[in-house]
Amino acid sequence: MKIFLVISSLFVISFFFITKDKGEELKTVDVKLDKNVIVEKLKKESFTKTLKFSGFSEASRIVIIKSQVEGKISSKSFEKGKFYKAGSQLVLVDPEDKIAKLKEMEALLNQRKKEYAVAEQLFKKGFRSEVKLSESRTNFENALAKYEKSQVELNNTKILIPFDSTIEDSFVELGDYLKKGDNVAKIVDLDPILIKINVTENDIKNLKLKQKTEIIISDKSYEGSVSYISKTSDPLTRNFKVEVQIDNQKKNIISGLSSEVKIKLSKEDAYFIPSSLISLDNEGKIGIKVVKETKVKFLIIEIISDTGNGYWVNSSENEILEDFMLITQGHEYVTEGENVIIENLNDR
C-alpha cells in the first residue's frame, strides 16, 4: 500500500512539472516581440544627371591631294608636319608645255572666231547657207572649249592647299614626274577636332544638336558641343554614332586620342540612397525597405545614376517616397509586412 502511494505521488508531481513546462513553451511561442529599426525621412533633392561616353578624337577633314596634270615637279614648297593656310602653293609642275598649248589654243580660237563672224555676215546677206553658219559656230565653240581646257591645265600646274591644314604625309619629291591622279600629299584639318562616340538607344533620346558637353582628354578638360547625331543605328550593336566638336585653334588636340565625353541633362528631383541600403526582393528586383506607420514595405526603385557610394533613384511604382521612412539601420533583419518599433535618426 505504501508503495502504491509513493508511485501515485511521483506520478502527480511529474504530471504537474510536465504540464508546467508545456505551458511555458506555449507561452514562449505565442509572444512575438517587434524589432527595433532606425529610420529617417526621405527627401527630394535637386539632381543633374550626367551621361558619360568613351570615344576618340578624329580630324574633321582628312584629304589626299592628287595631281590633275602630267609633268615634272619643278618646285616643292612644303614639309611634313607643318601647318599651311588655304591657297598656299605646295608643288609646281613644269608649265612650259602647258603654256605652249595654251598659246596654240588661243590662236585657234581667234581664227575660229573670225571665221564665224565672216560666216554670220555672209548669211545675213544671203551668200551663206544656215548649215554653213552652224558649222562655223560649232567650230568656234569647240575652239573655245579647247582654249578653256588648256587654261585650266596651266592653272593646275600649281597645286594649292584647299583649306587651312597640316601636312600629314608627302608622296613626292623635287624632280618626280607626275601622272594625272598621282598622290601628292595627305593633309589633315584639326580645327575643329571631332570626338566620335557610340550612344545606346536608351541615351540617344537625351541628346540634341548644339548640346554643350565637357570632354576629358589626357586629364585636361575642354568644352564642346554635339555636332552630329546619326539617324540610324548600327545593325549589330544597335548603337548610334554621335560626334562632338571642339574648337582647336592651337592644334593642341591631335587625332586618335582616347576621350571621355560628359553631357549634363536638365535638373530633376530625385532621392539619394546609400549603396548599403539597397536590397533585392525574392524576384531579384532592386528596392529599399521603408516604414509607413509601423509596417515594413519593400519599395521598388528606378536607379537613374550610380555615384559609386550611392544611387540617385526614382520610384518605378509612382509612389510618393516622402510618405515613407527609410530604414537606415536594421533593414537586414526585417521583412515586408512586419510591424517594427521605429526610432527616428533625426531625433537622436
- The C-alpha cell 565637357 sits at 214
Residue 118 has a pLDDT of 87
The full set of domain ranges for the chain reads 1-31, 35-47+268-347, 51-59+186-267, 73-184
Q: How far is CA 164 from CA 88, 188, 189, 195, 254, in A?
A: 9, 9, 7, 20, 15
- The C-alpha cell 509596417 sits at 295
Residue 17 has a pLDDT of 45
Show the cell assigned to 162: 584647299
The CA distance from 237 to 135, in Å, is 64
Residue 71 has a pLDDT of 92
The CA distance from 11 to 86, in Å, is 117
Residue 6 has a pLDDT of 41
Q: Is the backbone peptide bond immediately before 192 cis, with ω within 30 degrees of 0?
A: yes
Pairing of strands 340-344, 35-41: parallel
- Fold classification of 35-47+268-347 (topology level): 2.40.420
Do residues 192 and 60 lie in contact, with contact meaning Cβ atoms separated by under 8 Å? yes
What is the 3 state secondary structure string of the chain? Answer: CHHHHHHHHHHHHHHHHHHHHHHHHHHHHHCCCCEEEEEEECCCEEEEEEEEEEEEEEEEEEEEEECCCCEEEEEECCCCCCEECCCCEEEEECCHHHHHHHHHHHHHHHHHHHHHHHHHHHHHHCCCCHHHHHHHHHHHHHHHHHHHHHHHHHHCCEEECCCCEEEEEECCCCCCEECCCCEEEEEEEEEEEEEEEEECCCCHHHCCCCCEEEEEECCEEEEEEEEEECCCCCCCCCCEEEEEEECCCCCCCCCCCEEEEEEEEEEEEEEEEEHHHCEECCCCCEEEEEEECCEEEEEEEEEEEECCCEEEEEECCCCCHHHCEEEEECHHHCCCCCEEEEEEHHHC
Residue 162 has a pLDDT of 95
Residue 193 has a pLDDT of 96
Residue 18 has a pLDDT of 47
The CA distance from 71 to 77, in Å, is 17
Positive or negative, the CA dihedral 73, 74, 80, 84 is: negative
The CA distance from 46 to 264, in Å, is 13
Q: At what angle do helices 130-155 and 96-125 cross, to 10 degrees?
A: 160
Which residues fall within 8 angstroms of residue 283, CB to CB, at 6 or more apart?
A: none
Q: Which residues of the chain have pLDDT under 70?
A: 1-33, 315-320, 345-348
According to the CATH classification, is domain 51-59+186-267 in 2.30.130.10? no
Residue 132 has a pLDDT of 83
